[in-house]
Amino acid sequence: MKISILGAGAWGTALAVQAAARHEVLLWARSPSAAAEMQASRRNSYLPETELPAALQISADLPQAMAHAAEGLIIIATPMAALREMLGQLPAGSRCLWLCKGFEAGSGLLGHEIARELQPQSGKALRVGILSGPSFAQEVAADQPTALVAASEDEALAQAAVNIFHSERLRIYTSNDPVGVEVGGAVKNVMAIAVGIADGLRLAAEAKGPVGSAPGLNARAALITRGLAEMLRLGLALGARSETFMGLSGMGDLVLTATGDLSRNRRVGLMLAQGLPLAQILVDLGHVAEGVYSAPTVLARARAKGVDMPITEAVVAVLEGRLSPAAAVDLLMGRRARAEH
């Protein structure tokens, strides 16, 4: 199978390395100098520990990448901000899965909504879906066991993802609930920032001496659980099925991202708790942290549907500098008592 992966960040590169063992894979980087550097060194600075296999083709030529997989599969591995641009350039009839997790800033749309918006304009019958789930790029590149879910209204496309990627190290499940899978991927990033903030406050308190009333492990479990409740509420309001949120793209990815220090979104929260300014955090990170861009749109869509998302609201207030990390925790703890569901 010929596969083109558009976007040579950490995740696109990890999946390219995995797939290159069994398929003819071309990895597209938007920067010609980055592509040339990868070609020469067989390394990518976004995933520095991983050697790029000799069989992996690298190119900065987008038409060439599109043509390579005209009869195969195109994977969009850019940040969410570039998904619309990439979808808009797909040749008619392409089969495409994207890896980005988030709501588009500005429009507030999920990936499948953007794809739907583009279909009638271009007259192209695209076949699209999402590949999501708990998957740190570094672990996938290192061949560590991982499970993902391929979601599409096109059952044959989700099945194609299984045929292409399923292996002893990478299990691919299918889902016909793209709304649920996308809401899970977008909201878990916001919750990872929230948990990072709480954990960061605890670490800062521990460093100073007796912990006092700083958030502890109880607070972490509470944030993850109530974060899942927010994710579920928004998902149901947008038409998702509840069982999707108990799966890999919901609870699975939420637990991974909220607790795993490889998460960039969690690291944003940890650094916010240290009092670092967001602009500096984003520069230091060197990678995309989608939750930063999605949080306001998650909140806007929740408000439009009358869905209560207090953790998301607190994260947005911290990101916008309207609330300190400590005040955000106090605000969440000070909410009136209510039934759990």
Ligand X SMILES: O=C(CO)COP(=O)(O)O
List binding-site positions for sn-glycerol 3-phosphate: 101, 133, 135, 188, 253, 263-265
Size of interface with ligand NAI, in residues (CB under 6 A): 23
Q: Which is nearer to ligand X, 253 or 313 (CB)?
A: 253
The verdict on whether 188 is a catalytic residue reads yes
Q: Quick check: 294 binds ligand X (CB under 6 A)? A: no
Helix, strand, or coil (residue 305): coil
Rounded Cα gap, residues 99 and 3, in angstroms: 14
Q: Quick check: 80 binds ligand NAI (CB under 6 A)? A: yes
Binding-site annotation, residues:
11, 30, 46, 101, 133, 135, 137, 188, 253, 263-265, 288, 290
Rounded Cα gap, residues 236 and 179, in angstroms: 9
The beta-strand segments (E) located in 77-163 are 95-98, 127-132, 146-151
User: Which positions from 125 to 144 touch ligand NAI by CB under 6 A, shown as an x/- string?
Assistant: ----------xxx-------
Q: How many angstroms from the chain centroid is the CA of residue 14?
A: 14
Catalytic residue among 2, 124, 188, 305: 188
Look at strands 2-6 and 24-28 and give their pairing: parallel
Which residues, 6 or more positions from 31, have their beta carbon under 8 angstroms from its beta carbon?
60
Phi and psi of 55, rounded to 5°? -75, -15
Q: Of all residues in this chain, which one has the CB nearest to ligand NAI in the complex?
A: 9
Choose from ligand X, ligand NAI, none: what does 253 bind? Cβ within 5-8 Å by kind: ligand X
Residue 178, classified by CB atoms within 10 Å of its CB into exposed (0-12), middle (13-18) or buried (19+), is buried
Helix, strand, or coil (residue 172): strand
Q: Quick check: 82 binds ligand NAI (CB under 6 A)? A: yes
Q: Quick check: 135 binds ligand X (CB under 6 A)? A: yes
Secondary structure letter of residue 337 according to DSSP: P
| Span of 53-61, 176-184, 249-257, 327-335 interacting with ligand X by CB under 6 A | 249-257
Q: Which is nearer to ligand NAI, 102 or 215 (CB)?
A: 102
Q: Quick check: 136 binds ligand X (CB under 6 A)? A: yes
| Span of 5-13, 112-120, 220-228, 323-331 interacting with ligand NAI by CB under 6 A | 5-13
Rg of the Cα atoms in the chain = 20
Q: Which of 272, 279, 278 is nearest to 325 (CA)?
A: 272
Asked whether the beta carbons of 311 and 258 are under 8 A apart, the reply is: no
Choosing from 199, 290, 292, 323, the residue that interacts with ligand NAI (CB under 6 A) is 290
The residue ranges that bind ligand NAI (CB under 6 A) are 7-12, 30, 46, 77-80, 82, 99-102, 135-137, 287-288, 290
Query: Mind telling me the catalytic residues?
Result: 188
